[in-house]
């Protein structure tokens, strides 16, 4: 009735090529943006910002980054935590070396630095595939964490080996440091998420995305039809690392404020982001958001229901959380291997046919 | 859809969960799960049991009942932040997170929110400088004190000279484990011993290569900054390579029953520091009868009297005394976090008071001032007797070398102040 192409006439190529061909989707998209930009900033408090929205937005960027590499280009990576650490440490070094430059530029440059590091670690992908590549990226993960722990220059030789974000402003508003207002932290993450998502969506819709998918589906065939595997794979690593670097910089500067590399960017972070991508849906930007939301919100929701509503002991809730999340991951992998994004796709398909399903 | 329902539920409940003001709210950021649970559980049990005892015996502190908000962090900084944000709105009076990583997160946050943070024997050492860290306290002792106490003890053992000896530091590769390095480096120059640093990565189960190196280099003493599962593994590995246990000294977070029991008889003679005495204190009988028998025990009630249980109870006692002091200063029973901070800064723990509380000699007598948030820094050295399964104190309280730690604290605090544009001063 309301969700279908019929009656929505396109009169130009630009209209025909737009991201959301269905009118309802376009309205929904603008509505989500309006709520995110015009409603939430006025309602948000410390708890909602620091426990839910800021981590969700930051993980969404990381998931988009990994999705480009793993979902679109088919290169499995277990180095996400290490690449996030590169973004965080680059941001820290830039923040302390150039205190007068705006933090937004620092975050963007951190993404650039991570892109270079990511491309360097992507070189083995030209020779090895699948599990072997996963092991090579795993090496990147351990090497980078070790490096940031070992070399004092990266943490400015602080006694504890921690890096902590000094207060930085965008305009008159503090976005990092303890005095940052929750809405300011939320807004800077939201702006980065919006830009990253729009850029990623359009990259993957265009020539580049098709090249990536060609490599993913069959690299030899792709090479035969003229896709350069060297350039394509390295581009995938660089773009993916760029997004992951941005998320690492935001994770350190805006969300946590002080970071210890082994604890914050360990192997468990790589797995967490990989789970987000798998649960959300490989090869889908919406899936990255869905996966991030699922894995950020679920523990908070379970904790809330278990300890605050039911009054169960906190250790029981914490153990249950592991059980439930593990069970849900298995459930999704069996019942819906294409992730939450596939559920959404099926829903849309059903809506199109409604009310006359066949 | 599921997410929307859960989110709606969360919104509905956060609206209904308005703070109740007629209580003293004490958050307990505990960890009873994960690789550090072995240490986190007894500490949290002792912490909560003491407040429950105050509720049962005295009706709270100054007539105000205490409400404990337990929040599981799993020793993870991200969940620690989540716990902090979810509890601070309820009127939390004081935070004691029992994690150096979380403490580093909370130092700027609690300062901005004006809630006192007490990191007893952990956290950022330079927080002892109260003029820079107005809202952070780390009495009665800190890591640099611990390092100095260890070296002083070894000096004493070796007739006053450590010249030419080799000390190996096995440390948790995190802010926690790296804290003592600066002091030990200064001390090694001062006393002429060599320092070998061996980092162990989180969570600490993999230490083969570190102990292989110790086996090869045969240092005279091994010092350890470990926590959680790392301690058990280290003691087992030390036993495996036949390192003499009497030359192996852990800090006060590496000296509890659960750290040594897995190695069995091989752990006999292992030494560690302690900042509180362990004894059969009269207060345990009260907790047993008034809290445990009433069915209010935190956890399963099996940890009473253990090293970390005693320390958790000690932490709770220090918080309760500070709140009582705040009530006395401000003349109101319902204190605010700012008032508790005043109480902490005016805190004075005397031997007579500890005896009155049924925990005679549990810690050294000390007093806090605006300048000095660090207490005395005293520590005792204790030894594990595997046959009887008990820790025996080998020494009385040993004083740290303040002439070494003092300037380091001042220097580090000044650096922090410069980095964060703080003008040192009293509130």
pLDDT 10s digits, B114-162: 999 999 999 999 999 999 999 999 999 999 999 999 999 999 999 999 9
Backbone angles phi, psi at A166, to 5 degrees: -70, 170
Q: Is A89 on the interface with B (CB under 8 A)?
A: no
Does some domain include residue A140? yes
Cβ(B248)–Cβ(B220) under 8 Å?
no
Which residue's entry shows tokens 């000094």? A166
Residues A308 and A213 in one domain: yes
| Integer Cα distance of B106 and B127 in angstroms | 12
Cβ(A259)–Cβ(A319) under 8 Å?
no
Residues A39 and A101 in one domain: no
pLDDT above 80: residue A174: yes
Cβ(B269)–Cβ(B355) under 8 Å?
no
Mean pLDDT over the full length of chain A:
92
Contacts of B174 in chain A (CB under 8 A): 161, 260, 262-263
Determine, for residues B178 and A160 on separate chains, whether the beta-carbon distance falls below 8 Å. yes
| Integer Cα distance of B194 and B219 in angstroms | 9
Hey, which residues 19-78 in chain A have their CB within 8 Å of chain B?
Answer: 45-47, 50-51, 55
Q: Is the dihedral of CA A89, A93, A94, A100 positive or negative?
A: positive
Determine, for residues B174 and A315 on separate chains, whether the beta-carbon distance falls below 8 Å. no
Does some domain include residue A358? no
Q: Which of the following CATH numbers is that of domain B21-142+280-378: 3.50.50.60, 3.90.1010.10, 3.40.50.2300, 3.30.465.10?
A: 3.40.50.2300
CA-based radius of gyration for chain A: 21
| Integer Cα distance of B254 and B122 in angstroms | 12
Determine, for residues B13 and A304 on separate chains, whether the beta-carbon distance falls below 8 Å. yes
Residues A35 and A156 in one domain: no
- Domain interval for residue A5: 1-43
b/e string for A21-50 if b means 16 or more Cβ within 10 A?
Answer: ebeeeeeeeeeeeeebeeebbeebebbbbb
By DSSP bridging, strand B348-349 and strand B366-367 are antiparallel
B21-142+280-378 and B143-277+384-406, same CATH topology: yes
Here the tokens at position B339 are 């008032």
Here the tokens at position B396 are 């009385």
Determine, for residues A266 and B70 on separate chains, whether the beta-carbon distance falls below 8 Å. no
Cβ(B307)–Cβ(B257) under 8 Å?
yes
Does some domain include residue A305? yes
Determine, for residues B174 and A161 on separate chains, whether the beta-carbon distance falls below 8 Å. yes
pLDDT 10s digits, A268-305: 999 999 999 999 999 999 999 999 999 999 989 998 89
Q: Is the dihedral of CA A200, A204, A208, A213 positive or negative?
A: positive
Residues A13 and A113 in one domain: no
Secondary structure letter of residue B398 according to DSSP? B
Residue A1 — very low, low, confident or very high, per pLDDT cuts 50/70/90?
low
pLDDT in tens, chain B (427 residues): 444 444 444 444 444 444 445 689 999 999 999 899 999 999 999 999 999 999 999 999 999 999 999 999 999 998 999 999 999 988 999 999 999 989 998 999 999 999 999 999 999 999 999 999 999 999 999 999 999 999 999 999 999 999 999 999 999 999 899 989 999 999 999 999 999 999 999 889 999 999 999 999 999 999 999 999 999 999 999 999 999 999 999 999 999 999 999 999 999 999 999 998 888 899 999 999 999 999 989 888 899 999 999 999 999 999 999 999 999 999 999 999 999 999 999 999 999 999 999 998 899 999 999 999 999 999 999 999 999 999 999 999 999 999 999 999 999 899 889 888 889 998 8
Tell me which of A25, A43, A61 is where a domain ends: A43
Angle at B180 (CA atoms; ends B275, B73), nearest 5 degrees: 70
| Integer Cα distance of B255 and B244 in angstroms | 16
Residues A121 and A268 in one domain: yes
Residues A22 and A141 in one domain: no
Q: Which member of B30, B175, B202 has the closest CB to residue A314?
A: B30
- pTM given for the model: 0.91
Q: How far is CA B27 from the centre of its chain?
A: 16
Q: Is A262 on the interface with B (CB under 8 A)?
A: yes
Which residue's entry shows tokens 């660089």? A238
DSSP string, A224-282: HTT--HHHHHHHHHHHHHHHHHHHHHHIIIIIISEE-HHHHSSHHHHHHHHHHHHHH-T
Domain total in chain A: 2
Peptide bond preceding A202: is omega within 30 degrees of 0, i.e. cis?
A: no
Angle at A245 (CA atoms; ends A121, A275), nearest 5 degrees: 80
Residues A21 and A137 in one domain: no
Residues A136 and A194 in one domain: yes
Contacts 24+ apart (CB under 8 A), A218-221: A219/A129
Determine, for residues A47 and B89 on separate chains, whether the beta-carbon distance falls below 8 Å. yes
Q: Does domain B143-277+384-406 sit in CATH 3.30.70.260?
A: no
* Helical segments of B192-331, H only: 208-217, 229-240, 257-260, 282-286, 307-330
Here the tokens at position B239 are 């036993």
Residues A39 and A184 in one domain: no
Does some domain include residue A263? yes
Contacts of A255 in chain B (CB under 8 A): 81
Q: Where are the domains of chain B?
A: 21-142+280-378, 143-277+384-406
Residues A100 and A200 in one domain: yes
Residues A25 and A96 in one domain: no
């Amino acid at each position: 009735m309301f969700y279908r192409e019929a009656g929505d006439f396109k009169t130009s190529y630009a209209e025909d090529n737009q991201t959301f061909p269905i009118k309802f989707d376009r309205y929904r998209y603008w509505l989500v943006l309006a709520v995110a930009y015009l409603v939430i900033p006025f309602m948000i408090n410390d708890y909602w910002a620091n426990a839910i929205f800021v981590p969700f937005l930051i993980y969404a960027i990381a998931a988009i980054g990994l999705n480009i590499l793993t979902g679109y280009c088919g290169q499995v990576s277990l180095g996400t935590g290490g690449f996030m650490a590169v973004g965080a440490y680059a941001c820290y070094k830039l923040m302390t070396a150039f205190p007068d430059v705006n933090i937004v530029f620092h975050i963007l440059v951190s993404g650039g630095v991570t892109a270079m590091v990511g491309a360097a670690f992507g070189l083995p992908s030209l020779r090895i595939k699948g599990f072997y590549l996963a092991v090579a990226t795993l090496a990147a993960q351990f090497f980078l964490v070790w490096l940031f722990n070992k070399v004092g220059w990266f943490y400015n030789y602080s006694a504890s080996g921690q890096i902590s974000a000094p207060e930085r402003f965008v305009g008159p508003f503090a976005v990092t440091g303890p005095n940052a207002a929750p809405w300011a932290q939320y807004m800077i993450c939201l702006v980065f998420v919006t830009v990253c998502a729009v850029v990623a969506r359009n990259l993957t819709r265009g020539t580049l995305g098709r090249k990536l998918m060609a490599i993913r589906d069959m690299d030899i065939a792709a090479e035969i039809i003229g896709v350069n595997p060297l350039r394509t794979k390295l581009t995938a690593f660089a773009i993916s690392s760029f997004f992951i670097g941005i998320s690492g910089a935001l994770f350190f500067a805006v969300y946590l404020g002080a970071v210890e590399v082994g604890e914050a960017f360990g192997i468990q972070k790589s797995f967490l982001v990989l789970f987000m991508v798998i649960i959300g849906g490989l090869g889908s930007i919406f899936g990255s958001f869905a996966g991030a939301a699922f894995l950020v919100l679920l523990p908070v929701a379970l904790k809330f229901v278990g300890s605050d509503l039911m009054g169960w002991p906190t250790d029981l809730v914490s153990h249950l959380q592991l059980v439930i999340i593990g069970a849900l991951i298995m459930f999704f992998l069996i019942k819906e291997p294409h992730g939450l994004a596939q559920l959404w796709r099926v829903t849309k398909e059903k809506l199109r046919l409604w009310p006359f399903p066949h | 859809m599921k997410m929307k329902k859960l989110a709606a539920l969360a919104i509905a409940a956060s609206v209904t969960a308005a703070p109740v003001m007629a209580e003293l709210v004490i958050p307990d950021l505990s960890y009873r799960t994960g690789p550090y649970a072995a240490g986190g559980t007894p500490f949290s049990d002792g912490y909560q049991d003491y407040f429950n005892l105050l509720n049962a015996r005295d009706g709270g502190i100054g007539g105000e009942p205490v409400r404990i908000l337990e929040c599981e962090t799993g020793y993870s900084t991200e969940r620690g932040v989540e716990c902090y944000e979810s509890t601070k709105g309820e009127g939390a009076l004081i935070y004691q997170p029992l994690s150096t990583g979380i403490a580093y997160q909370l130092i700027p946050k609690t300062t901005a929110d004006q809630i006192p943070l007490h990191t007893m024997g952990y956290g950022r050492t330079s927080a002892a400088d109260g003029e820079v860290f107005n809202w952070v306290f780390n009495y009665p002792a800190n890591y640099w004190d611990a390092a100095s106490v260890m070296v002083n003890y070894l000096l004493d053992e070796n007739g006053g000279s450590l010249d030419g000896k080799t000390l190996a530091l096995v440390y948790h590769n995190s802010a926690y484990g790296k804290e003592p390095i600066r002091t030990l480096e200064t001390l090694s120059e001062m006393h002429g011993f060599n320092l070998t640093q061996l980092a162990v990565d989180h969570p600490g189960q993999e230490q083969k290569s570190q102990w292989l190196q110790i086996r090869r280099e045969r240092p005279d003493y091994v010092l350890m900054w470990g926590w959680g599962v790392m301690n058990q593994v280290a003691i087992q590995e030390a036993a495996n390579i036949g390192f003499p246990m009497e030359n192996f000294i852990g800090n006060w977070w590496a000296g509890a029953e659960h750290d040594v029991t897995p190695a069995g008889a091989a752990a006999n003679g292992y030494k560690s520091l302690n900042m509180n005495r362990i004894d059969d204190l009269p207060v345990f009988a009260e907790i047993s009868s008034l809290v445990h028998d009433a069915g209010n025990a935190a956890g399963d009630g099996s940890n009473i009297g253990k090293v970390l249980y005693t320390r958790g109870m000690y932490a709770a006692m220090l918080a309760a005394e500070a709140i009582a002091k705040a009530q006395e200063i401000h003349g109101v029973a319902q204190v605010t976090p700012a008032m508790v901070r005043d109480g902490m800064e005016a805190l004075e723990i005397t031997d007579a008071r500890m005896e009155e509380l049924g925990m005679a000699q549990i810690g050294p007598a000390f007093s806090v001032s605006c300048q000095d948030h660090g207490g005395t820094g005293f520590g005792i050295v204790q030894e594990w007797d595997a046959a009887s399964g008990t820790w025996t104190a080998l020494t009385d309280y040993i004083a740290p070398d303040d002439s070494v730690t003092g300037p380091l604290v001042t220097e580090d605090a000044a650096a922090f102040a410069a980095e964060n544009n703080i003008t040192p001063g009293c509130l």
